[in-house]
Amino acid sequence: MASSQASAIDYLFDSFVASLAANPQMPLEDLRDMLEKCGDLARDPGEVDYLEVVADGTPCLWAVPKGAREDRVLLALHGGGCVTGSRFSHRKLFGHVAKAVGCRALIVDYVRAPEQQHPSQVNECVKVYQWLLGQNIKPAHIATIGDSAGGNLCTTVVLGARDKKLPLPAAVMPLSPWYDMEATAPSFKTNAKVDRLISPEMSLNMSQLFLGAASPRDPLANPLFADFTGFPPTYIQVGGFEAILDDSLRVAERAKAAGVECQCEVFPEMQHVFQFMAGRAPEADGAIQKLAAWVKPKLGLA
């Protein structure tokens, strides 16, 4: 059974749904302001400094835990459908992960849709990855991580890097990844009564804003259609109550079929990106500790 603390995300998501129902034509800037509140769920991790940096033209935020290894980096990509979210909304979440791992996290504030549409986001994130390599960070010392749309991007940035014949990072950690741009997951139906936020309509609306004229089956937007040959070890975390649960399960099976070391862990009764509750709910803290335990050996930190 979920802890009482885990209900915090239920209340927040319920408030989002109620606000959207009351104002179905909510302006984009108001929607962005509302969804920034996801960042309020986490407690500040403490002993983590946040430093502004521009990575080859892209504004980013370093999360630097006290005593962290500076030669290991988490390339952290925020969620929000590639329409909302920012380095600030995800500051505390990625700060908790960086602190648990013992290295820095570079939180990327990539361009958002609909102002900039696919493939702008993945191209920009590949450029930031190249910037990290140019900072003498070895690819074997980088792991990508992201939530929701950021979980998509932390996957597709690796596919995009492979297309450019760049050396690939050591590991990939998608959290509640949003992969399917066509909203075909059976879990939309099976979890319809328990997911507090995501519906097929919401997913399709976001994907249309994100994709513009691009194909919803482009592998760099929808990894359900990607070739995972040679892909790095991957650890996916997803909530058992998520409408997009099957996005994670299907991509994990596709990756395993290509010979990738891939683990997909389903956390019972958890909502979309439940790790947002870091420092407040034991489920979030436990999941982050599992991320750290898994990725440390991949980065040579064990």
pLDDT digits (tens, 9 = 90+) for 108-150: 999 999 999 999 999 999 999 999 999 999 999 999 999 999 9
- Residue 110 burial (C-beta neighbours within 10 Å; 0-12, 13-18, 19+): buried
Mean pLDDT of the chain: 98
CATH 3.40.50.1820 for domain 4-298: yes
Does the structure show a pLDDT above 90 at 29? yes
- Please tell me the predicted confidence (pLDDT) of residue 113: 98
The answer to whether residues 128 and 61 touch, using CB atoms and an 8 Å cutoff, is no
Three-class DSSP category at 234:
strand
Taking the model in full, what pTM does it have?
A: 0.98
Where does the pLDDT of residue 41 fall: very low under 50, low under 70, confident under 90, or very high at 90 and above? very high
Structure tokens at 36: 């920034």
Among 214, 231, 125, which Cα is nearest to 170's? 231
- Please tell me the predicted confidence (pLDDT) of residue 190: 98
- Please tell me the predicted confidence (pLDDT) of residue 179: 98
Which tens digits make up the pLDDT trace of 173-206? 999 999 999 999 999 999 999 999 999 999 999 9
Q: Residue range 158-166: average pLDDT?
A: 98
Among 247, 9, 217, which Cα is nearest to 118's? 217
Q: Residue range 225-251: average pLDDT?
A: 98
- Please tell me the predicted confidence (pLDDT) of residue 302: 80
Domain boundaries, the chain: 4-298
